[in-house]
Amino acid sequence: MTHPAPRDRAPGTGVTYVFAVCRGTRAVNTADVTGLAGMPGGAAVRLLPSGPLTAVVQTVPAADFTDEVWQSRLSDPQEIERYARAHHEVVSAAAVHGPAVPLPLATLYHDDDRARRALDAEAHRFHGVLKRIAHHVEWGVKVYEPEAPAAPEEREPAPVGSAGRQAPAPGAGLAYLNRKRGVQERRERRREQALSVAESVDAELRALAAASRRLRTHGAVPGGDGRVHVLNATYLVAEQRAEELASLVRALGERTGTRIELTGPWVPYSFVGEG
């Protein structure tokens, strides 16, 4: 549904930015969203009813969302974060009044009529997603690989014949290589054990969740604390099971001796693209 603003529009022309789609309930249609900031430079955030659905929208300057401007913005981490936060703030506010399908950042239409037509064309999908995420929230879980135990410093054997230095004992080079091999083998076993724990954690969490998604794991972040996660997943969980989820994560951490990080609850961004 993302449509860049057309390049041939006049500089002062406004286009319709769509943040989220909700059911057109009384609670939604009477919600006051005008106090939300929305996108920088845009008009007041407002509601756009379209049959049984209601979109949360804002009129924004077309010139701020051309291909060239948006690509330039994407190359600036601070600037794109500012827009992402503004988008998320509106989506989160909409979700307070009922299930809300968040649309991708910079979802734009020429005008309100085009936006309504797009909602009507995808009404069946939106209703399906709204039914699935109603009374559910998203939680993120990361499982970290245990830190390696401190190992004694391993030095290479001294070179033979160096002035003032003793030659290494017979077999010192082979012993050094064996130690290095042992370190590598222990590292691999630790990794395999961590991955096994991650799979068992994911299995138990999936049994509690309505849906789940595995995300890409990352290595140690430069300048960070050196921890590496072996599971990066997100779970769609019924709101009334939040305490049960938190208790299960704590129990799994204690049982496995592994650091497990739980974040959320979030608007279920990860589960709105499914059929």
67 falls in which pLDDT band (50, 70, 90)? Answer: confident
Mean pLDDT of the chain: 83
Question: Which CATH number is 137-271 given?
Answer: 3.30.70
pLDDT given for residue 44 in this prediction = 94
166 falls in which pLDDT band (50, 70, 90)? Answer: low
The pLDDT of 175-196, averaged and rounded, is 67
pLDDT at 122 over 50: yes
- Domains of the chain, by residue range, sit at 14-134, 137-271
147 falls in which pLDDT band (50, 70, 90)? Answer: low
> What is the rounded CA–CA span in Å between residue 84 and residue 87?
5
pLDDT given for residue 187 in this prediction = 65
pLDDT at 160 over 80: no
**CB-based contacts of 168, cutoff 8 Å, min separation 6:** 157, 158, 160
pLDDT given for residue 128 in this prediction = 94
> What is the rounded CA–CA span in Å between residue 237 and residue 209?
5
Q: How many residues does the chain have?
A: 275
pLDDT at 230 over 50: yes
The pLDDT of 165-193, averaged and rounded, is 62
The pTM (predicted TM-score) of the whole model is 0.77
164 falls in which pLDDT band (50, 70, 90)? Answer: low
pLDDT at 7 over 70: no
> What is the rounded CA–CA span in Å between residue 245 and residue 232?
16
**Residue, of 193 and 7, whose pLDDT is higher:** 193
pLDDT given for residue 29 in this prediction = 86
pLDDT given for residue 9 in this prediction = 52
pLDDT given for residue 223 in this prediction = 43
How do residues 245-262 score in pLDDT, each as one tens digit? 999 999 999 998 888 999
145 falls in which pLDDT band (50, 70, 90)? Answer: confident
The pLDDT of 41-60, averaged and rounded, is 94
**Residue, of 270 and 187, whose pLDDT is higher:** 270
pLDDT given for residue 1 in this prediction = 45
Closest CA to 265 of 234, 225, 230, 228: 234
> What is the rounded CA–CA span in Å between residue 269 and residue 152?
46
**Range ranked top by mean pLDDT from 2-11, 68-77, 211-220:** 68-77
